[in-house]
Amino acid sequence: MGYTVTQESFDRLTSYWADSSLGLKWGSVFVLPQWLEVWWQAFQPQTQLYLGVVRDSSEVIGIAPLQLSEGRASFIGAPDVCDYLDFIVAPGREKDFFHTLLDELQRQGVATLDLRALRPDSTAITHLVEVARSRGLEMLCREEEVSLELDLPATWEEYLKGLDKKQRHEVRRKLRRLWEAGKVAYRYDEVNRQEVRGLLDTFLRLFSLSREEKARFLTARVESFFHSLAEAMAELKLLRFGILELNQMPVAMTMGFDYQGTAYLYNSGYDPACNSLSVGLLSKVLGIKESIARGKKKWDFLKGAEKYKYQLGGREIPLYHCEIILR
């Protein structure tokens, strides 16, 4: 039978994600079918949905979650709310997958493959670029943004020792000041669907308060996306809210996801009235501490070169934008 490409539904992709025997590599939380479907429904782009599934005979070897518009194919999702994007491919089958997909896209009349938010370890960078070159296709790849991440050690003390002397002192000093300011509580827990709405409302209030830029970003459509996303990720048991309380009042929160040993810091907010106590920064510090205690291997600060990410030990990961001309 050879290689075939079929266009399928989000429900079918979800069934492939649930079937570990397929051996597909779902490289980050941002490429899960549930995430992509929430984005598609929330933002309703004026494009054609293309969920291309490549098979070798009956074996699924990869998935291309794309949208098509006027001869251009791009990933489902947008970099402002989906930090990393990629194809979903069975390891070892990348060349077969990409040759088959490029042939099919050319038959579909796609002239340009426009891919953004690509990590250096994405299949698009590690394999598609090579396949495109072997086919003599014109291509432009450039670094567009950076993300920061932190490899987590086995203990909190090891983490502190890994910071430079000044930052280690600052973290300890700020934690001490916070504990001296009143009754402090912090929790970083899995959130079930029954808890989502109340916690998310509190989070969005702090998110909007913390910076004017965030308040402008939180349009009605983005707020609806956050609600649907939180419910979907809670259903998968991936959603985590980090809640910092002072005198029984939430003063800072983080919204994130635990997936494949990585704690993703998706977004955060804090009460500016407590700015002198550095509650925004400390909500991340305490999240890192809790993730270490739970045996997580990586803390991903995600996209953006904010100063605090470097101060807390983050290292840069370049993110690329690649355009491949198919004809």
What percentage of residues in the chain have a pLDDT greater than 70?
100
Q: What is the pTM (predicted TM-score) of this model?
A: 0.95
Question: What residue ranges do the domains of the chain occupy?
Answer: 3-146+320-325, 153-296
Question: What distance in Å separates the CA atoms of residue 9 and residue 50, rounded to the nearest whole number?
Answer: 9
The tokens describing 151, both together, are 């490899």
- The pair phi, psi for residue 76, each rounded to 5°, is -65, 135
Q: What are residue 244's DSSP bridge partners?
A: 186, 252
Tell me which residue of 64, 54, 67 sits closest to 22, measured CA to CA.
54
The tokens describing 102, both together, are 């490029």
Identify the burial level of 188 via C-beta atoms within 10 angstroms of its C-beta, where 0-12 means exposed, 13-18 middle and 19 or more buried.
buried
Burial string for 246-256 (b: 16+ CB within 10 Å, else e) reads beeebbbbbbb
The position carrying tokens 């014109």 is 138
Classify domain 3-146+320-325 at the CATH superfamily level. Gcn5-related N-acetyltransferase (GNAT) (3.40.630.30)
The confidence band for 327, taking pLDDT boundaries of 50, 70 and 90, is confident
Question: What distance in Å separates the CA atoms of residue 265 and residue 147, rounded to the nearest whole number?
Answer: 11
Mean pLDDT of 260-281: 97
List, for residues 65-89, the tens digit of each pLDDT value.
999 999 999 999 999 999 999 999 9
- Same topology, domains 3-146+320-325 and 153-296? Answer is yes
**Over 90: is that where the pLDDT of 215 sits?**
yes
The tokens describing 77, both together, are 């999702």
Strand ranges (E), 25-177: 48-56, 59-69, 72-75, 88-89, 112-118, 138-151
Question: What distance in Å separates the CA atoms of residue 69 and residue 215, rounded to the nearest whole number?
Answer: 31
CA quadruple 290, 184, 203, 230: dihedral positive or negative?
positive
The confidence band for 1, taking pLDDT boundaries of 50, 70 and 90, is low
Q: How many CB atoms lie within 10 A of CB 130?
A: 13
8 Å CB contact between 36 and 11: no
**Over 80: is that where the pLDDT of 112 sits?**
yes
**Over 90: is that where the pLDDT of 8 sits?**
yes
Q: How many CB atoms lie within 10 A of CB 213?
A: 8
Q: What are residue 138's DSSP bridge partners?
A: 325
What percentage of residues in the chain have a pLDDT greater than 90?
97
CA 199 from chain centre, in angstroms, equals 20
Question: What distance in Å separates the CA atoms of residue 205 and residue 161, rounded to the nearest whole number?
Answer: 35
What is the overall mean pLDDT for the chain?
A: 97
Question: What distance in Å separates the CA atoms of residue 146 and residue 307, rounded to the nearest whole number?
Answer: 13
Classify domain 153-296 at the CATH superfamily level. Gcn5-related N-acetyltransferase (GNAT) (3.40.630.30)
At 187 the pLDDT is 95
The confidence band for 194, taking pLDDT boundaries of 50, 70 and 90, is confident
Q: What is the DSSP string of 22-60?
A: G--B--SGGGSHHHHHHHHHHH--SSEEEEEEEEETTEE
Q: How is residue 10 annotated by DSSP?
A: H
Mean pLDDT of 156-165: 97
Q: Which residues contact 302 (CB under 8 A, 6 or more apart)?
A: 83, 147, 148, 264, 265, 266
